[in-house]
Amino acid sequence: MKRKPAKKVFTVDLAGVRSAAKMHDAIAAALPLPEHYGRNLDALYDVLTEYGCNWKIVFRNAGTVARGLRTVCADAMAETPGLETVFE
């Protein structure tokens, strides 16, 4: 019986982040994103659906900056088997 590969777990700490630019800085620092990452929510969706299979991303201290981020993550999870996002 084949074993499923272990999920790759990434943690994005958004403590103190108050702008979209800083949020994308934190995401880009924590995830193995391609160099051409566009640093906006549409680009994040594209990356998550293309590369995120078998990823678990834990967002810590998301606060209010993450409203749109939560929606993008939910949409990407619906399209990408094995992608899991958690907001703590």
How far CA 80 is from CA of 8, 29, 42, 54, 87, in Å, comes to 14, 22, 15, 9, 18
Sign, Cα dihedral of 75, 13, 42, 83: negative
Q: Which pLDDT belongs to residue 1?
A: 63
Q: Which pLDDT belongs to residue 61?
A: 93
Helix (H) / strand (E) containing 16: none
Quickly tell me which residue has 């990407």 as its tokens.
76
15 vs 4: CA distance, rounded Å: 33
Q: What digits encode the pLDDT tens for the residues 38-70?
A: 999 999 999 999 999 999 999 999 876 778 999
Q: Under CATH, which architecture does the 8-87 domain have?
A: 2-Layer Sandwich (3.30)
Assign 6 a pLDDT band (cuts: 50, 70, 90).
confident
